[in-house]
Amino acid sequence: MRRLFSDRIAGAFRSVTALHEEPPRATGEKTASPTNGLAESMIDRKRIARFRIFAALLVAASGSAAVRAEDPATTFLEALRGRGYYDTALDYLKSAETSEVVPAFFKAQIPYERGLTMVELAAVEANRDLKIKLLKEAEAHLDEFLTKNSASPLVPSARKETANILIAQARLLVRDAKGTDQAKLAEADKLYAQAYQSFQAIREDLKKRLEAIPKVLNDNDRAQRLLRETRDQYRQTYQAVRLLSAVMLVEQAEITKENKAEYEKRMNQAIAELGQIYTDYRIFYAGFQAKVFQADAYLKMGRYADAIAAAKEVLEQEDPGLRSIKIQALAVAAPAWNHESIKQYDETVNQVGAMLDTARPAEEREPDFLRMKLSLAKALKARAEASANPTSSDAKKDLRRAKAMSFQVSNVQGDLQKEARELLVALGGPDAAAEEIEPTTFVEAQQAGRDAFDVAQSSEATLKTIQTRLKEAGGNDAELQQQVEALTQTVAKARGDAVRYFRDALRLAGPDEDPASLGRVRYFLTVLYYGNDDLHAAGVMGEFVARRTSEDPTAPYCGRVALAAYKKLFDEADESLKDFYLARTESVATFVGEAFKGQPEAAAAIATLIPMQLQAGKIEEALALLQQIPLDSPLRAQMDLLVGQIAWAEYLRGGAKVRELETAQAPAEEIAALQMKRDALKQTALTTLEGGVGRMQTAKYGKTEALAVIFLAQILVGSDRAQDAVALLEDPEKGVLPKLAGGNADIEPKIAAEAYKVALRSYVSSIVSGANANDAIEKAKQTMDALDGAVAEKKTLISIYISVAQDLQKQLENAPPNQREALSKAFAAFLEQVRGEAQQLDVLVWVAETFYGIAQSAVGPDGVATPAAKGYYEQAQGAYAQILSMGKNKGGDWLPKDVERTVEMKLAMIDRELGDYQGAIARFERVLAPNNSVLNVQTEAAETLMKWGQQDPQQYFSAIMGARKDPKTQRNVIWGWTRLSSVARQNAKPENDMMETFFLARLRMAEALRGYALASKDAAQKKKHLELAEKSIVEIAKAMPTMGGADWRRKFDDVLKAVQKDLGKPTDGLSKVLPPPAPETASR
């Protein structure tokens, strides 16, 4: 019972401290319903905030008529604290000291506000040392305020906060003393005494202040209105201080229990003070609160009759708004009724029984309810034992119920658990076979059913515990095995009995039976049917309750059970019945979702429908359903994640589809429509994943959670929110990286690799958005190490790094032009650092590829490398060269041959971009020498010759006819466009893209001829080559009128027109050769 009292006191302090005070009421001055505590507290906060402004104005303005508009500092500060932003509130107070807009009156009260903020922060601080530190700092600030502002109307409130700090410090000492450290207890006692004295002094001060304010005030007069506000505030503080000091006395008395006289003196004093508060505020909530504290104090002292009398004053109230305080009163009264000096067991049984009957499911395990249940069990046991005929059915019923009650309490962790278990043992353990009765009335049957149900539930809980122990013991403990068997029988029998009794109850129900009682019986039957796997019956009964008695409080839950039953039947049904149960599931889910909107059951029903819609590919419908699940429902997060992940997966799949359509040259509008759909999917994925990740429970972190975080990070980093992505990935609670570091076994290696990929990309990208570059680089390096550890195969690792590089390049290309340069620089700086230290091939390839990508994205719109692009090409060149050099030095298979050739090719391409055509061609030759039938290398080599042709027209011929004769074969190592087109044409198949190479080669041939012609000084030569160019295009048009699609046709047409212009002919392009192209649909 020690807990009971101290909890209450702590609660009182908390509520009073947190809300500052009770509403501004004195006896006879009723301004609102005394029972509506929540609403009052909300009003309080606003009133107090307003009061602070008024109070300060009283001091600062001192009658000044003009109120200057200024920063709404007090309200803002209240709002910051209200949201729990204590750190920001403290920052604000710091900035307010020097602010030009913060009013002078507010500046004067900054120390007070700082102290108050720290007191509130200390209340939520779990770390003991920090809590002490905060309290000390708060005290110093409040002292500062009191010293400098002795005339402020906030002085009483500041002093009250100071006293509260003393109590908080005393409480910490009591906790540390653990009941034995007398020195600490004595110190705590002193602090309590100081707090009490402070409270008394505040009371005296407030009295004087109140007396100084006229009784009658005119609200139409501004000054008098301000005074009324001040008076209200003083009255609130006065009331709060009285309650606090009285309750604190009880707490203080607890530590002097060894000294009976002192203990009784303090308790009596507390009782007297609480009694007086009740007298003064008897029609208000605070008055009843005082009365319950008083009853508890009596109980503590062993004055049971007085405790009962005090509690009764509260219990006799009929106002339904007082339910919560009546529960507290009952939890105090029941042990008093049970005491051997009182022995009013019937009171406990009747009153507690009645209260338990009205208990909401969420209340069943609350401390006050558990206390009441334990008291009820004790009363029932005592009553049965005191019965004249202990073997009578009534006595047996009492014992059975006592067992059920104590069993329930024994299954809940807490300070009552031990006592409940001892009681259960005294009662002979959970019932194995309750005696069967034959109920003759509805009430009897209902009670019997309820008792059997309780037994079933309690036994089931114990069964689970014992099964776990048995499993831990390897299944070899005979005693535990026996207990499991016995309890299994008990559960089965109790469940069967409960069903039978509840069915009897329905049979025995008269036409005027209380609908609420009938609803409860049906509810239990629904739950029992489901538990017994009688799914059809559970579905039918649950649906009946939900639809036919939807006003009944159990209706939503029954609907949920019905839904679960039908869903299970659907999952288990053969094909012939699937449709039937699917229809039932959808029908019940829709009904529950709509009929019980806003309740958890509605959310659960909708959550059942969402996967069904997703399975059918209906993401929009699933999204619409998602909006119907309240944000605070735990299911919302799960469903957010599910919808978000499916939407993101669809978005990615859509990307492949877009590429497919582009390759197939599908109509632009079709591609645009798909793109729009993808944009919507991305938005859906972002919104739902952000919501879901924000709300997700992280106690069980597995694949779903990890994927959700990875997907969201992918979206964020792709949307220039790299820092958000980093914050998310690293979040100690939700981030996937800490989970991987902690060795989460539920995250598969493939998912881990994806996590590291997105992390790497995020770290690199975060540099540009202002993250500390060194930190980001360090973390990126750690990520690469982790990636190396997670992926064993080198080629896979390289392809992962290349894909990250490609992602980064895509990001660069999509970045707004004004950000691109900064982004490039950040990437480059990062890459240089990595390159300097990297020893792994995969990392170096990644570095080089990324440099190359950055360079390409810095190329000007005319295709000419800008100075910046050249710089990046040179850096890429350095990285590729480093790979070759390290390959030589390390030897072995460090640098596989195919990778080496790719590196060479890249180097050749870079030479070309840097204008070193000779060097480039020499490299291409080296690459092609061992095997010259690699079409992409041949294409790049020919392109290089084309570029060279701009400087040396002779190279145009090489581009067409090939170059670098092999002395052995006497054939050109570099083929040129003619041979390329021929090889491509011969090898073209529907499944490859050789025709693309073919058309490219033919187009380039025409361009090369034109380039050569234009460079020629001989008019005849010029004309001849221009005509050749013209002919080459006309020939291909005639031979292949489709021209490889609209794109190619346009390109050929452009070149042909240019040639015709050069020749002085009409520039009619392909129009004379081919019929006009089909009209194109405008793209979006």
Partner 1 sequence: MPSVPSADGLPRFSRIICLNWTLTTMKSFLLRFGVGLVAATFGASAAFAQQDQLYKTNDEVVRGLVSGTTPGSVTMTVNGAAQAPIPSSEIKRLIFAEEPGELRRGRESVLTQQYEDSVAELAKIPAGNYPSLVQQDIEFYKAYSASQLALKGSPGSNANDAAAALVAFTRANPNSWHYFDARKAAGDLAALTGNYDYAASAYGELLQAPSLSMKVEGKLLQSEALMRLGKHEEALAGYKQVAAANANGDDAIEKYKEFAKVGQAVATAHTGQPAEAIKSLNEIIATTDPTRDQALYAKIYNGLGAAHLKANAPKEALLAYLHVDLLFLQDPDAHAEALYNLSKLWGSLNQSQRALDARQTLRERYGASAWASKE
Binding site for partner 1 (CB under 8 A): 68-72, 75-76, 79-80, 83, 85, 88, 91-92, 95, 100-101, 627, 631, 683, 686-687, 690-691, 693-694, 719-721, 723-724, 727-728, 731, 770
Q: Do residues 806 and 776 lie in contact, with contact meaning Cβ atoms separated by under 8 Å?
A: no
> 818 or 936, CB closer to partner 1?
818
Backbone φ/ψ region at 366: left (φ over 0), alpha (ψ -120 to 50), beta: beta
Residue 974 forms beta bridges with which residues? Answer: 963
Q: Do residues 401 and 454 lie in contact, with contact meaning Cβ atoms separated by under 8 Å?
A: yes
In angstroms, rounded to a whole number, what is the distance separating the alpha carbons of residues 869 and 854?
8
Query: DSSP letters along 155-217, please?
Result: HHHHHHHHHHHHHHHHHHHHHHHTTT-HHHHHHHHHHHHHHHHHHHHHHHHHHHHHHTS-SS-
Long-range contacts of 1019-1023 (CB under 8 A, 24+ apart): 1023/1063
In angstroms, rounded to a whole number, what is the distance separating the alpha carbons of residues 349 and 303?
21
> 87 or 221, CB closer to partner 1?
87
CB of residue 897 to partner 1, shortest distance in Å: 43
Three-state DSSP class for residue 694: helix
CB of residue 636 to partner 1, shortest distance in Å: 11
* Paired tokens of 755: 């996590």
CB of residue 88 to partner 1, shortest distance in Å: 7
CB of residue 1082 to partner 1, shortest distance in Å: 17
> 25 or 678, CB closer to partner 1?
678
Q: Do residues 701 and 637 lie in contact, with contact meaning Cβ atoms separated by under 8 Å?
A: no
CB of residue 728 to partner 1, shortest distance in Å: 7
> 694 or 749, CB closer to partner 1?
694
> 682 or 1002, CB closer to partner 1?
682
CB of residue 849 to partner 1, shortest distance in Å: 26
Q: Do residues 507 and 537 lie in contact, with contact meaning Cβ atoms separated by under 8 Å?
A: no
Long-range contacts of 427-430 (CB under 8 A, 24+ apart): 427/377, 427/381, 427/399, 427/402, 427/403, 428/403, 429/403, 430/403, 430/455, 430/458, 430/459, 430/462, 430/487, 430/490
Residue corresponding to tokens 């049979």: 507
CA distances to 9, 386, 776, 808, 850 from 760, in Å = 53, 75, 9, 10, 13
CB of residue 80 to partner 1, shortest distance in Å: 7
- What does the longest C-alpha to C-alpha distance in the chain come to? 135
CB of residue 755 to partner 1, shortest distance in Å: 17
CB of residue 85 to partner 1, shortest distance in Å: 8
* Paired tokens of 859: 């190329």
Give helix 2-19 / helix 155-177 axis angle, nearest 10°.
150
> 85 or 544, CB closer to partner 1?
85
Of 304, 374, 371, nearest to 344 by C-alpha is: 304
> 271 or 689, CB closer to partner 1?
689
> 70 or 477, CB closer to partner 1?
70
CB of residue 172 to partner 1, shortest distance in Å: 28
CB of residue 68 to partner 1, shortest distance in Å: 7
CB of residue 727 to partner 1, shortest distance in Å: 4
> 100 or 512, CB closer to partner 1?
100
Q: Do residues 539 and 562 lie in contact, with contact meaning Cβ atoms separated by under 8 Å?
A: yes
**At 1019, which helix (H) or strand (E)?**
helix 1019-1039
CA distances to 78, 91, 940 from 88, in Å = 12, 5, 59
CB of residue 217 to partner 1, shortest distance in Å: 23
Q: Do residues 978 and 1041 lie in contact, with contact meaning Cβ atoms separated by under 8 Å?
A: no
How distant is the alpha carbon of residue 598 from its chain centre?
20
CB of residue 719 to partner 1, shortest distance in Å: 4
Q: Do residues 135 and 122 lie in contact, with contact meaning Cβ atoms separated by under 8 Å?
A: yes
> 552 or 724, CB closer to partner 1?
724
CB of residue 769 to partner 1, shortest distance in Å: 9
Which residues does 337 contact at the CB level (< 8 Å), separation at least 6? Answer: 308, 344, 345, 347, 348, 375, 379
Of 557, 540, 530, 536, nearest to 453 by C-alpha is: 530
> 48 or 461, CB closer to partner 1?
48
> 426 or 631, CB closer to partner 1?
631
> 101 or 929, CB closer to partner 1?
101
Residue corresponding to tokens 């992940």: 645
CB of residue 825 to partner 1, shortest distance in Å: 19
> 490 or 723, CB closer to partner 1?
723
> 691 or 949, CB closer to partner 1?
691
> 589 or 713, CB closer to partner 1?
713
Residue 1080 forms beta bridges with which residues? Answer: none
- What is the length of the chain? 1084
> 375 or 628, CB closer to partner 1?
628
Residue 954 forms beta bridges with which residues? Answer: none
> 57 or 329, CB closer to partner 1?
57
Query: DSSP letters along 712-773, please?
Result: HHHHHHHTT-HHHHHHHHH-TTT-HHHHHHTT-TTS-HHHHHHHHHHHHHHHHHHHHTT--H
* Paired tokens of 257: 């229990």
